[in-house]
C-alpha cells in the first residue's frame, strides 16, 4: 500500500503511541481488503458506545487509547449510548450502569470527540457532501450517507472508525471506489408504500433478498421519498441484509449515473406481507399487552415528533411511549412546545440512546410495539422483548390502550 511520508511517520510512532496504534489498524484493514492507498475523511461516526455492549474490557481499551495520547483530527460524533445522558435517573436507568456509561463517554471526550450520541448525525448538522470520504460505523446511517447523500463509507466497526478519526484517513477500498457502487439487483416495487412502517417492511424484504448487495429500486414515488421514509428503508435493509448502499430511480444522487440496469438480476415486490409477517413473527412471541411503544429508530426528526404530538392531542398514553431522538432535536422540540405536548400525553422524548443499546431488562419492559423495521428486527434479540410491528397509528393506539389490537 502506498503511504505518504506523513502516514509512514505516523505508523512508525513519530506522533506517539495512540496515533501509531490507530494507523496500524487503518493500514491492517487496507491490507486485508487490498487498498492501494488511504483517503482523507471529512467526518467520523463511531459506533460501539453503549456500556451494555462494551463492558469493562471495552471501557479499558478506550481509556488506554486515550491515555496514549490518541486525539481525533476530524469532526467525530458518537452512536447512541446506553442511556439518556441528562435524564437517565428519572427514566429509571440504574445508577451503577450510568456511572460506567459516563466513564465510557469521558474516555471519548478525552480523545476530543463530541458527545452527540445519535444514529442520525445527518439531522443535526453532520451531513457529509456528495463524494466525501467518511468513516461511519452505524448501519442505518451508513446506508443513508452512501445512498441518500452520495458520500462514501464502508461499514466500519467501532475501533476501525475511531482509528480513522485519530489519523484522519481511511483505507480506500469497498464503497470508496466507483466500481463497488454499481447495483447488482433491480427491484421492481409494485405495491403502495404509505406509512413509515411500510418503508421498514419493504427494506426488510429487499435486504433479505439482496444480502450484502447493492439494489436499484424502481417504482417508488419520488414525492414520498423524504428523509423519514429513506432512513426507515435503509435501516431495515441494513438490518436484514447488511445493505450499505441502494439507489432509487430519480431520487438518490447516483441513480442517474447510467448504470446498465437491463443486465441486473431482477426481482419483484408486489406485497409487503412478507415483511410484516417476519417482523411480527413467532420469534417475537405474542403478548397483546404492551408496556412500551418505541418510535424513533433511526432517531426521530422534528417532523416525526410534531406528527406524534398532533396525533396525541387530548389523548393520554397508558403504556410507556419513548420517542428516541438526538438531544439537539429534543431541544428544538422543547423550544417549539412539542416536548410539552408529548409529555402532557404521558410520552417522553428520550435522547442519546435507543432500545437496542439500552439495558432494557433493567428498565422492566417486556413487550414492545414499534413502527421501525430495524427496531422490530432487533427487538426480540437485543432488547429481549416481545415485539409488535405496525403503522404509527397502530403504535400510538397501542400506547393509549396499553394493548396491541
Q: Which of 170, 180, 182, 120 is nearest to 145 (CA)?
A: 120
Contact code string over 133-162 relative to ligand F3S, x by CB under 6 A: -----x-x----------------------
Can you tell me which of 155, 176, 327, 374 binds ligand F3S, judged by CB under 6 A? 374
Measure the CA angle with vertex 285, ends 283 and 286; round to 5°: 145
Q: To the nearest whole angstrom, how small is the minimum distance from the Cβ of residue 383 to ligand F3S?
A: 9
Contact code string over 201-230 relative to ligand F3S, x by CB under 6 A: ------------------------------
With DSSP H G I counted as helix, E B as strand and the rest as coil, what are the percentages for the chain, rounded to 5?
Answer: 45, 15, 40
Q: To the nearest whole angstrom, how small is the minimum distance from the Cβ of residue 303 to ligand F3S?
A: 17
Instruction: Please say which residue, 15 or 139, places its beta carbon nearer to ligand F3S.
Output: 139
298 forms part of the interface with ligand F3S (CB under 6 A): yes
Q: To the nearest whole angstrom, how small is the minimum distance from the Cβ of residue 358 to ligand F3S?
A: 9
Name the one range near ligand F3S by CB under 6 A: 106-114, 258-266, 293-301, 338-346: 293-301
Instruction: Please say which residue, 121 or 183, places its beta carbon nearer to ligand F3S.
Output: 121
Q: Tell me the pairing of strands 247-248 and 215-218.
A: parallel
80 forms part of the interface with ligand F3S (CB under 6 A): yes
Can you tell me which of 248, 297, 307, 339 binds ligand F3S, judged by CB under 6 A? 297
Strands (E), 150-250: 169-171, 185-189, 215-218, 247-248
Can you tell me which of 73, 172, 209, 299 binds ligand F3S, judged by CB under 6 A? 299
46 forms part of the interface with ligand F3S (CB under 6 A): no
Can you tell me which of 356, 386, 399, 400 binds ligand F3S, judged by CB under 6 A? 356
Q: How many CA atoms within 13 Å lie on the side-chain side of 228?
A: 22
Rg of the chain, C-alpha, whole Å: 21
Q: To the nearest whole angstrom, how small is the minimum distance from the Cβ of residue 49 to ligand F3S?
A: 9
| DSSP state letters, 41-70 | -S-EEE----HHHHHHHHHHHHHHHHHTT-
> Please, which of residues 105-134 interact with ligand F3S by CB under 6 A?
119
What does the buried/exposed string (b/e) look like for 117-142 if buried means 16 or more CB atoms within 10 Å of the residue's CB?
Answer: bbbbbbbbebbbeeebbbbbbbbbbb
Name the one range near ligand F3S by CB under 6 A: 38-46, 82-90, 160-168, 296-304: 296-304
Q: To the nearest whole angstrom, how small is the minimum distance from the Cβ of residue 375 to ligand F3S?
A: 6
Q: How far apart, in whole angstroms, are the C-alpha atoms of residue 35 and residue 78? A: 26
Q: To the nearest whole angstrom, how small is the minimum distance from the Cβ of residue 140 to ligand F3S?
A: 4
Residue 323 host element (H or E)? strand 320-325
Per DSSP, the three-state class of 169 is strand
Instruction: Please say which residue, 53 or 109, places its beta carbon nearer to ligand F3S.
Output: 53
Name the one range near ligand F3S by CB under 6 A: 61-69, 150-158, 314-322, 371-379: 371-379
Instruction: Please say which residue, 19 or 104, places its beta carbon nearer to ligand F3S.
Output: 104
Q: To the nearest whole angstrom, how small is the minimum distance from the Cβ of residue 47 to ligand F3S?
A: 8
Q: Tell me the pairing of strands 185-189 and 265-269.
A: parallel
C-alpha cell belonging to residue 200: 421498514
> Please, which of residues 225-284 interact with ligand F3S by CB under 6 A?
235
Q: How many residues bind ligand F3S (CB under 6 A)?
A: 15
C-alpha separations of 348 from 73, 134, 260, 337, 342 in Å: 36, 33, 48, 13, 7
> Please, which of residues 301-330 interact with ligand F3S by CB under 6 A?
324
Q: Which of 299, 293, 292, 298 is nearest to 351 (CA)?
A: 299
| End-to-end CA, the chain | 58
Which parts of this chain interact with ligand F3S (CB under 6 A)?
79-80, 119, 138, 140, 235, 297-299, 324, 354, 356, 374-375, 378
Amino acid at each position: 500500500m502506498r503511504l505518504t511520508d506523513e502516514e509512514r511517520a505516523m505508523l512508525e510512532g513519530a506522533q506517539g503511541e495512540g496515533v501509531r496504534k490507530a494507523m496500524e489498524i487503518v493500514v491492517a484493514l487496507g491490507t486485508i481488503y487490498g487498498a492501494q492507498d488511504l483517503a482523507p475523511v471529512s467526518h467520523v461516526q463511531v459506533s460501539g458506545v453503549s456500556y451494555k455492549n462494551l463492558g469493562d474490557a471495552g471501557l479499558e481499551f478506550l481509556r488506554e487509547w486515550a491515555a496514549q495520547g490518541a486525539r481525533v483530527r476530524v469532526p467525530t460524533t458518537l452512536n447512541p449510548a446506553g442511556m439518556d445522558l441528562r435524564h437517565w435517573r428519572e427514566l429509571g436507568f440504574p445508577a451503577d450502569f450510568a456511572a460506567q456509561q459516563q466513564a465510557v463517554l469521558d474516555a471519548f471526550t478525552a480523545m476530543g470527540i463530541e458527545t452527540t450520541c445519535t444514529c442520525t448525525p445527518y439531522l443535526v448538522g453532520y451531513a457529509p457532501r456528495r463524494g466525501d470520504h467518511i468513516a461511519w460505523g452505524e448501519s442505518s446511517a451508513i446506508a443513508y450517507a452512501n445512498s441518500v447523500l452520495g458520500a462514501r463509507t464502508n461499514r466500519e466497526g467501532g475501533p476501525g472508525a475511531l482509528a480513522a478519526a485519530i489519523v484522519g484517513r481511511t483505507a480506500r477500498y469497498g464503497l470508496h471506489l466507483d466500481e463497488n457502487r454499481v447495483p447488482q439487483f433491480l427491484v421492481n416495487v409494485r405495491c403502495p408504500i404509505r406509512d413509515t412502517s411500510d418503508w421498514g417492511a419493504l427494506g426488510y424484504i429487499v435486504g433479505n433478498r439482496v444480502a450484502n448487495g447493492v439494489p436499484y429500486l424502481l417504482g417508488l414515488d419520488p414525492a414520498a421519498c423524504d428523509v423519514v421514509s429513506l432512513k426507515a428503508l435503509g435501516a431495515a435493509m441494513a438490518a436484514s441484509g447488511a445493505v450499505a448502499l441502494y439507489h432509487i430511480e430519480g431520487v438518490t444522487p447516483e441513480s442517474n449515473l447510467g448504470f446498465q440496469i437491463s443486465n441486473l438480476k431482477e426481482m419483484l415486490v408486489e406485497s409487503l406481507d412478507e415483511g410484516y409477517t417476519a417482523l411480527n413473527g413467532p420469534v417475537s412471541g405474542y403478548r397483546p399487552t404492551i408496556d412500551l411503544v418505541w418510535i424513533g429508530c433511526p432517531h426521530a426528526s422534528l417532523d416525526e415528533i410534531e406528527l406524534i404530538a398532533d396525533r396525541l392531542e387530548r389523548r393520554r398514553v397508558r403504556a410507556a411511549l419513548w420517542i428516541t431522538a438526538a438531544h439537539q432535536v429534543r431541544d428544538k422540540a422543547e423550544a417549539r412546545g412539542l416536548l410539552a405536548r408529548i409529555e402532557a400525553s404521558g410520552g417522553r422524548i428520550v435522547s442519546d440512546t435507543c432500545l437496542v443499546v439500552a439495558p432494557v431488562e433493567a428498565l422492566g419492559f417486556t413487550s414492545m410495539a414499534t413502527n421501525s423495521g430495524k427496531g422490530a428486527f432487533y427487538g426480540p434479540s437485543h432488547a429481549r422483548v416481545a415485539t409488535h410491528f405496525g403503522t404509527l397509528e397502530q403504535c400510538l393506539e397501542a400506547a393509549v390502550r396499553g394493548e396491541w389490537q
